Structure 1
């Protein structure tokens, strides 16, 4: 498997971009990109949020001691297809899909497919696995989909305000490898000449906006590494109602995390995805660096919102079942979380 983390020309920038999803990460991206992009459209789920942002003075971004008010052109997915119409008229060079996994249903996937112009590329920012297959089923060309794995931290406070809770690294690479259905563009000499050329405009835009970007191919090991991290941290903090750092204070929680980790490693191995030998230490370091943070799953539970459990722990369990493997620790965590969600 070829691995390349190469230089791209960040002087080139995307001029027309759209972000679908106005959660914490979507708003962070919109606020940061807006000054560097000739046309930027933020697509919200509801008209209420679109009106709150466009009519209320824009997005309020708090980044350390910096307070930014960013004007944002908005459109809502709900309603008579206005968002798709505006996207079609705009013909964005890139669409960034920043919604959570559970929101990528057939209707949304079809809307994204209809909104993509002949030269539009799609960047996926979801945690977990499974969404690429749903987008492929909607007829989106695999060679026009790219995946991102980010450690940027963001927290939404209301419909407009977002706090940048931590800077990180964002890796970008082809979402579909040649082996799993992509074309020759994802391997061999055409890879550097064509795929990087297509992505460098977006990478240039993100870099200008202050994000640290690394082009990475294959990206699957990093997608799986983040999946494993989320499967270890998110459900346990949600079940125990504790912050990330408190996981390290309990020997019982650490023992369970290690069991979850070993099961996940075996599942990834069966899937043919090589994971770093130092991933366990990386998980512990994430808990240290984000010690005061509440995981997104804990926030969802406390707010009574649906969680991403089915696309994190559930995704691991589906992969295990595919290979006839048992994952008893992940199964127990999954059932406990389902019981909590049922409340």
Structure 2
């Protein structure tokens, strides 16, 4: 597989490599961007989506608007479920849509392909490894600000698109090969040794950003300026929980990262709230609260933010203004 390390067979021997085929489950802001970049770089990409989305992609292709990568359109092979062997599958749906989306990706069809969830939160790895062979499921995180404006239209506004990969079960050569292939498409990729640290380091930053920007209804710059005390308190609480769970970032690291991002940056949770979509509140805030309880830690500020956002979402859902997940 050009750009992907040679796979080993079931007894550890090397098998002949071929050009990689990548499946992308969920052609939204993240999956659409990654799949389009891979396709532009010459990879064969199969998108898995709902029937209406798949039909639109087959008809119109996939268009990306990006300051970093430029504006381009690629033709698309879009289907409703995986029906052929692939080398890797990037799972890029929201956590709220994961269970129904996985019906498009049967274990039999998946074969020996790597499964790379680029989901928010820290609890999905267990569920995926119950469904698919553990050595094939790779922990992944992505830093990017990218939005699906319409089926087949992706707007990438951040100057970065950076992925971290790790697995305690997957052979390192397969991780390195996957990273190389993604890198050739222009994506920044780092392979780390500790999958728990990868997930919790991302969640330390993301939970602070998502909960505060969504609660305030403003980009991070206004939070930094007007809610500094809350920002510091939440960062301390979440970093403490993350450290107990296996993360490596301290509160000062999280705050420094939040201070570096563009003032106009909005979290994906805030964008979902503005669009009236279901929030990934349980995957992000809920993960922190459950880990805090497991480790006997008090997180009053974080808990109050989660409770307030849950109440808002409940009231919005009761009013009928909350649409179903895409």
TM-score by structure 1 length?
0.81
1:256·1:329 contact (CA, 8 Å) conserved in 2?
A: yes
Where do 1:261-272 residues align within 5 Å? 261-272=235-246
Report what 2:52 is aligned to: 48
Q: Which of structure 1's runs of 4+ aligned residues deviate more than 6 A?
A: none
User: Given the alignment, which residue of 76, 93, 116 partners 1:99?
Assistant: 93
Residue 96 of structure 2 corresponds to residue 124 of structure 1: no
CA displacement at 1:197 relative to structure 2:
1.7
Instruction: Classify 1:34/1:168 alpha carbon distance in 2 versus 1 (closer, same or farther; 3 Å).
Output: closer
Gaps of 5+ in 2: 6-17, 317-326
2:162·2:188 contact (CA, 8 Å) conserved in 1?
A: yes
C-alpha separation in 2, matches of 1:48 and 1:334: 34
CA displacement at 1:113 relative to structure 2:
4.2
C-alpha separation in 2, matches of 1:94 and 1:256: 41
| Count of paired positions | 300
Report what 1:59 is aligned to: 62
Gaps of 5+ in 1: 1-8, 77-82, 186-194
1:14·1:94 contact (CA, 8 Å) conserved in 2?
A: no
**Residue deviations 1:268-321, cap 9 Å, x none?**
233243335642343333xx4231122211111111111111011110111112
User: Given the alignment, which residue of 248, 252, 262 partners 1:290?
Assistant: 262
Cα RMSD after superposing both structures: 2.2
2:272 match: secondary structure: helix
Where do 1:1-343 residues align within 5 Å? 10=3, 15-44=20-49, 46-56=50-60, 58-64=61-67, 66-76=70-80, 83=81, 87-89=82-84, 91-105=85-99, 107-109=100-102, 111-138=104-131, 140-166=132-158, 167-174=160-167, 177=168, 182=169, 195-250=171-226, 253-276=227-250, 278-285=252-259, 288-341=260-313, 342-343=315-316
1:151 match: secondary structure: strand
**Residue deviations 1:89-132, cap 9 Å, x none?**
2x001011111112222x54465342544321111101111111
C-alpha separation in 2, matches of 1:116 and 1:200: 24
C-alpha separation in 1, matches of 2:29 and 2:108: 23
2:204·2:242 contact (CA, 8 Å) conserved in 1?
A: no
1:47·1:75 contact (CA, 8 Å) conserved in 2?
A: yes
2:201·2:242 contact (CA, 8 Å) conserved in 1?
A: no
Instruction: Classify 1:48/1:223 alpha carbon distance in 2 versus 1 (closer, same or farther; 3 Å).
Output: same
C-alpha separation in 2, matches of 1:94 and 1:26: 13
Instruction: Classify 1:263/1:27 alpha carbon distance in 2 versus 1 (closer, same or farther; 3 Å).
Output: same
**Residue deviations 1:137-190, cap 9 Å, x none?**
32x12111112222232122111211121214321111xx3xxxx4xx6xxxxx
More contact order relative to length (CA 8 Å, sep ≥ 6): 1
